[in-house]
Amino acid sequence: MNRLLLMSILFSGFALSQTPDPTPLDGRISGTVLGADNKPISAATVSFVEQSALSITSAYPRQVKADSRGHFDSGATLKHAIYDVYAHSEKDDYPDRTFVFYRSADFHPETVQLFGAQPEAKVEIKLEHKAGVLTGSVIDADTDQPLDASVSLVNMQLEDTPYGMNGKSAHAKQGKFRVLVPENTDVHVFVLKPTPPNEPEWSGFDVTVHLQPGETRNLDIRLYKAGTP
């Protein structure tokens, strides 16, 4: 009896192993990423997010890089499904609009359906609006030496958003920083220099900026230690 049961289990396992995968990974999405000026965006990051409540791909999307002509290709590697496809390129001032800090009401990813035998789809992704660009120098007010400092930004239009989701952090390295900020939005900027224990605290700096798409603003920030004139 035990021998018959064992043979039944082995046969069932063999039969399951011969069953074709109901969701083969042979779907393909390719296309081009263009900027607001209709010129290709080289090295843009393109994301493919499966539209499924049970999928973890929204948190960890499949991503590829566009080539020097803005062309991208997932290869025949995608599951048969419906996908949201979008792109970003920090170097060209186009932020990741799925990040809450940068999200805008007119952000709409391209929707692509992959069904049938070895499905393929081509899509053109147009990046419509550049972010604002905030640059700055952080200097010791007494010595004129550059300072490493933390730069924190808060999107003031997202005050009701849970803490941490309405902000972004950057770092001034050797006194310099560059960070993208949401366009047409009040953004509060805080700059702090960490103070080692038992040493005089550094002063802080804060300001609210409101930049237009593609606008660059530079901040010259001078910090000083408590007790210095």
Last residue of a domain, one of 85, 100, 126: 126
Is there a single domain that holds both residue 153 and residue 219? Answer: yes
The per-residue pLDDT for range 49-103, each reduced to its tens digit, is: 998 755 545 567 899 999 999 999 999 999 999 999 999 999 999 999 999 999 8
Domain residue limits at 150: 132-223
The per-residue pLDDT for range 2-53, each reduced to its tens digit, is: 454 444 544 444 444 444 556 788 999 999 999 999 999 999 999 999 987 5
**In a domain? residue 95:** yes
The pairing of beta strand 25-34 with beta strand 120-126: parallel
Is there a single domain that holds both residue 120 and residue 148? Answer: no
pLDDT band, very low/low/confident/very high, at 153 (cuts 50, 70, 90): very high
pLDDT score of 198: 84
Is there a single domain that holds both residue 115 and residue 147? Answer: no
Is there a single domain that holds both residue 119 and residue 136? Answer: no
Number of domains in the chain: 2
Is there a single domain that holds both residue 111 and residue 30? Answer: yes
**In a domain? residue 145:** yes
Is there a single domain that holds both residue 156 and residue 217? Answer: yes
Is there a single domain that holds both residue 85 and residue 120? Answer: yes
| pTM of the shown model | 0.82
**In a domain? residue 2:** no
CB 219 within 8 A of CB 207: yes
**In a domain? residue 144:** yes
CATH code of the domain covering residue 215: 2.60.40.2190
